[in-house]
Structure 1
Amino acid sequence: MLADDPLGAHRESPADLTPYRTAFARIDGDPNQHLVVAVRDGRTVGTLHLTVIPGLSRRGAARSLIEAVRIHADARATGLGTRLIEWAIAESRRQDCVLVQLTSDATRVDAHRFYERLGFEASHLGFKMAL
């Protein structure tokens, strides 16, 4: 699913699973990382990665970051994405986060509408630097 769109097709390489397994082990060993995998009929149909970030700003408040939201093409428009985001929001509250944030590539217009429909607001301009 990571490679199942124009952006992912250029940056993911499912032929070699070694880096993904290494990353999974790091995520699995960190209590601030929550990787959710949705399975239907024994098949993975969705993912979401939630990171709880302790902070100093906002009076020492924690925030959460939603990433890697992916829904398999044949499971889209079934409500699964909404349920995953709702879980992430509820878990963020349970972890005493004061806000939940996410980023979305500027080209993912449909995803932006989805997030706005769920109550997210475009609030920041993001920057990246490849290392």
Structure 2
Amino acid sequence: MNEPSGLTIRPATEADLPAIVAMLADDPLGATRESPDDLAPYARALKRLTEDPHQHVVVAVRGERVVGTLQLTFVPGLSRRGSTRSIIEGVRIHADERGSGLGTRFIEWAVDRSREENCQLVQLTSDVSRTDAHRFYERLGFTPSHVGFKLQL
């Protein structure tokens, strides 16, 4: 999808992985859990995701440069009268683009796609330490409604 600002949002490809992983690693949390020097596990994961019709890993591209990424997942369910929800994960904006409005446009894109898929709910999670991100999501209408739990395996 082409934007008036020269921005294109499109499915991610294996050629985008160096830029995607660099963005995933470009913060204190990502720096401890991502491995930009070994793209093989990311390539395997992208292949699995690309083969699943409920998974959409996309990039925002300005010119020839990948400047953002996110994953959008559609989850059919029984709760809420059999509704489908979407989950936004792995949102990253290149450091040079932060504050440009790209993050807002990217989340709006994901919400619009969720509407197109007849989702009744859009949800996302954000690490408790990412307070700036929390304010950003709240400005876009998201509400902190749940407590999340994780179990490392």
Report TM bin, short chain.
over 0.9
Q: Which runs of 5+ in 2 are unaligned?
A: 1-22
Query: Structure 1 residue 39: deviation in Å?
Result: 1.1
Q: Take 1:19 and 1:92, find their aligned partners in 2: how far apart are those partners?
A: 28
2:35 to 6, 13, 27: 13
Cα distance in 2 for partners of 1:27, 1:75 equals 26
Indicate which of 12, 18, 25 corresponds to 2:47: 25
Q: Deviation above 2 Å: which 4+ runs of structure 1? A: none
Map 1:1-131 to 2 at 5 A.
1-131=23-153
What percent identity do the matched residue pairs reach? 69
Q: CA deviation at 1:41?
A: 2.4
Structure 1: runs of 5 or more not aligned = none
Tell me the amino acid that sits aligned with residue 146 of structure 2. Answer: H
Structure 1 letter corresponding to 2:147: L
Aligned partner of 2:7 in structure 1 is none
**TM-score of the superposition, structure 2-length normalised?**
0.84
| d(CA) in 1 for partners of 2:54, 2:115 | 14
